[in-house]
Amino acid sequence: MSKELSLKYGCNPNQTPSRIFMKDGELPIEILNAKPGFINFLDALNSWQLVKELKSATGLPAATSFKHVSPAGAAVGTPLSDTLKKIYFVDDLELSPLACAYAKARGADRMSSYGDFIALSDVCDEQTATLIAREVSDGIIAPGYTDKALEILKSKRKGSYNVVKIDENYTPSPIEHKDVFGITFEQGRNELKISNELLKDVITNNKNIPDDKKRDLVISLITLKYTQSNSVCYVKDGQAIGIGAGQQSRIHCTRLAGNKADIWFLRQHPKVLNLQFKEGIGRPDRDNNIDVYISDDYMDVLADGEWERVFSQKPEPLTREEKRAWLDTLTDVCLGSDAFFPFGDNIERAKRSGVKYIAQPGGSIRDDNVIDTCNKYDIAMAFTGIRLFHH
């Protein structure tokens, strides 16, 4: 390990010089392959904190898929259903618990995860590396790698795949700094421990939050802790299924994340599962065309004959009525918010994506309206009393 690393450039090629360094001691990272850049390291260090906390909170291996300093997906290593294996393109692989975590993290929003930076809570095994080798990705950070996993990853992208090892025992200073416009900001690190203790104040008529839903709410809150604000996170069965990051309006954030959750569930519709792709169509091209097929614009694509390039037979359209009927079967979704909901419209939108359990700070002057809206739909909502802004 070293005290500093020179980088090719900063966020953009014109921003030179660029480096990462420690004022005291050595960097807690080791570059095992290639040469990560400025944004790679921002993703790596934020994503590592996320999976480390997920593992600590749940006791399960965790993974996240990061893009531009926010997670596109995050998950813990619970088994995948046959349907999820199919829509994540992993039904031909043997999956370890860690590989399951990454398959779910990557599969939540495959469009956004294209070219991601990966973080794993545990030593990367051969099964996880085999899965990663098949996806378009920029790099990975983990506390270690088996010999076979490292061999697989080093061969990715013609040997230019970024592989970073981090000291899992590294503890940063409790005070952090950043410079903006030549001015140094200082604050205490956000060391808030997120656990079931934050979910005790259930203020709705429905006060029943089962243990597995508490776990999912904790996953949503930890994910939000490392998502650029404003942000909300929809979670189901141990994985984020919709993350809305960096929106100025809370309702826009709820809609964005809800739309992503809807797309995740629509990918499981029988018509989508039965799409017939031409031989040789790769996963990224499949993702793009599934996204178009699910969209309301697909009738235009059919009319233009674009489908012939990708599909071996003309797909039957998925109508708005069919989509709504399918989405109405999505249930027991958990939703976390990094700040309070100012209006009940957020709850109305969340309900359309199957939300049944909510964790948010509370403290709005319209809390009564938000609570009443939850009660209308028998949604259980806990006030955590904590805000999770991240910038």
Tens of pLDDT, residue by residue over 9-67, are: 999 999 999 999 998 899 999 999 999 999 999 999 999 999 999 999 999 999 999 99
Rounded CA-CA distance 352/240 in Å is: 17
Rounded CA-CA distance 319/311 in Å is: 18
pLDDT of residue 325: 98
Write the pLDDT tens digit of every residue in 266-277: 999 999 999 999
Q: Is the pLDDT assigned to residue 306 strictly greater than 90?
A: no
Check if 230 is active-site: yes
Predicted confidence band of residue 360 (pLDDT cuts 50, 70, 90): very high
CATH T-level fold of 192-266+327-383:
Cytidine Deaminase; domain 2 (3.40.140)
Write the pLDDT tens digit of every residue in 154-192: 999 999 999 999 999 999 999 999 999 999 999 999 999
Task: Find the catalytic residue in 52, 55, 67, 225.
Answer: 67
The helices-and-strands tally (H runs, E runs) of the chain is 15, 15
Rounded CA-CA distance 391/388 in Å is: 10
DSSP 123: -
Higher pLDDT among residues 149 and 284, named by residue: 149
* Predicted model pTM: 0.96
Phi, psi of 264 (to 5 degrees): -55, -45
Phi, psi of 327 (to 5 degrees): -65, -30
Q: Where are the alpha helices (DSSP H) in the chain?
A: 38-58, 82-87, 97-107, 110-113, 126-133, 147-154, 211-225, 250-266, 270-273, 283-294, 298-304, 307-310, 320-327, 345-351, 367-376
pLDDT of residue 40: 97
Per-residue tokens: 35: 């040469």
Rounded CA-CA distance 240/160 in Å is: 29
Architecture of domain 7-19+28-171: 3-Layer(aba) Sandwich (3.40)
Q: Tokens 């990094």 sit at which residue? A: 338
Predicted confidence band of residue 207 (pLDDT cuts 50, 70, 90): very high
Looking at this protein, which amino acid is placed at residue 160?
S
Task: Find the catalytic residue in 162, 230, 289, 346.
Answer: 230
Q: Is 113 helix (H, G, I), strand (E, B) or coil?
A: helix
Q: Is the pLDDT assigned to residue 100 strictly greater than 80?
A: yes
Check if 252 is active-site: no
DSSP 282: -
pLDDT of residue 302: 72
CB 139 within 8 A of CB 12: no
Cis peptide before 230 (omega within 30 of 0): yes
Mean pLDDT, the chain, whole residue set: 95
The whole-number average pLDDT for the span 235-258 is: 96
- The residues with which 30 forms a beta bridge, in sequence order, are 165
Q: CB under 8 Å to 83, separation ≥6 — which residues?
A: 268, 273
Task: Find the catalytic residue in 68, 86, 148, 390.
Answer: 68
pLDDT of residue 314: 85
Rounded CA-CA distance 169/385 in Å is: 30
Check if 391 is active-site: yes
